[in-house]
Amino acid sequence: MPAVKCGWMLAALMAAAAPAFAVGMGPLAKSGLTDGPRKAFYLTVINPYPAAASFKAYAVGVDDEEVQSRVRILPEATIRIGAKQNRRILVVADDLEPGETFAFRVCAAKAEMVEGMVHARVCSKLSARRIAPRA
């Protein structure tokens, strides 16, 4: 009986000591100025898993989950990243008006949902400001 109890305790300890995998992204906040109608940002999506995986990246509002149609993510919204590798994505905010500050989030999550696994995501807060013309 004590051996069974020790086995359960050892299994629980090993599960707690195992790394918690979740998608990574950086930087988590970035802002920039532009004098034109577009502003681009580079973000890095990180695959912490021991196997290749697909991740999706998408733009939402700062305080809500509303899809931001003025934001493009290149090369595409779903990307495949090798085991323990990372990949840069280009995020472009379009249609900026003179003097406008446009804030939004770009989030990344694993593309496939796995039963019994927490579907974690990470978001980066981005802000693009177009300089107003001189009077």
pLDDT computed for residue 20 by the predictor: 54
Domain ranges of the chain: 24-130
7, pLDDT greater than 90: no
Task: Output the six-digit token pair for 28.
Answer: 């988590």
CATH domain 24-130 topology: Immunoglobulin-like (2.60.40)
Tokens of 68: 């931001």
Tokens in use for 54? 């697909």
pTM of the predicted model as reported, rounded to 2 decimal places: 0.79
Position 73: which residue type? Answer: I
User: Which has the minimum average pLDDT: 17-21, 32-36, 53-57, 63-67?
Assistant: 17-21
The residues facing 32 across adjacent strands are 128
Omega before 75 cis (within 30°)? yes
